[in-house]
């Protein structure tokens, strides 16, 4: 995540060692249209994936608690813990987006589009 995106003659992003590139253009109703390349370090992706895997396990644990008729206050406490963990992941993703994606958009001269996409995502994300 050094902020530099190597570009070949055909303007396709090329990953550096330790970086992951995914180009995407989402058209379903769960994502915002985006056609810019995302370049994130493998370390960053690994940390986010690990956090999400722990959250996934935690949710399975809550399901088991419900199946075993665990007292509601205990279940609610665990749900609150999962919410907090998801919020932490969201903050990490937002920070990555602001430092990497928005930074690259500013360098490329298309920051207005990125900011509009971020605003639309935040409108959906925030209550």
Tell the burial category of 93 from Cβ atoms under 10 Å away from its Cβ (0-12, 13-18, 19+). Answer: middle
74 alpha-carbon distance from chain centroid:
29
Domain range 42-125, CATH architecture: Up-down Bundle (1.20)
Give the rounded distance of the alpha carbon of 68 from its chain centre: 33
Read off the pLDDT of residues 33-58 as tens digits, 9 standing for 90 and up: 445 566 778 888 999 999 999 999 99
Please say if the pLDDT value at position 80 is more than 90: yes
Highest mean pLDDT of the ranges 16-20, 25-29, 43-47: 43-47
CB 7, CB 50: distance < 8 Å: no
Q: Are 104 and 3 in contact (CB under 8 A)?
A: yes
Task: Give every CB contact of residue 36 below 8 A, 6+ residues apart in sequence.
Answer: 23, 101, 104, 105, 110, 114
pLDDT at 41: 81
pTM summary value: 0.65
């Amino acid at each position: 995540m050094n902020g530099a995106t190597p570009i070949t003659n055909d303007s396709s992003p090329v990953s550096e060692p330790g970086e992951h590139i995914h180009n995407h253009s989402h058209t379903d109703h769960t994502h915002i249209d985006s056609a810019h390349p995302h370049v994130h370090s493998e370390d960053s992706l690994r940390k986010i994936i690990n956090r999400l895997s722990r959250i996934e396990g935690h949710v399975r644990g809550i399901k088991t608690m419900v199946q075993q008729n665990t007292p509601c206050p205990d279940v609610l406490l665990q749900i609150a813990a999962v919410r907090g963990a998801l919020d932490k992941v969201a903050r990490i993703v937002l920070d990555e987006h602001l430092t990497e994606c928005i930074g690259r958009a500013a360098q490329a001269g298309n920051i207005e589009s990125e900011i509009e996409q971020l605003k639309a995502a935040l409108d959906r994300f925030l209550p």
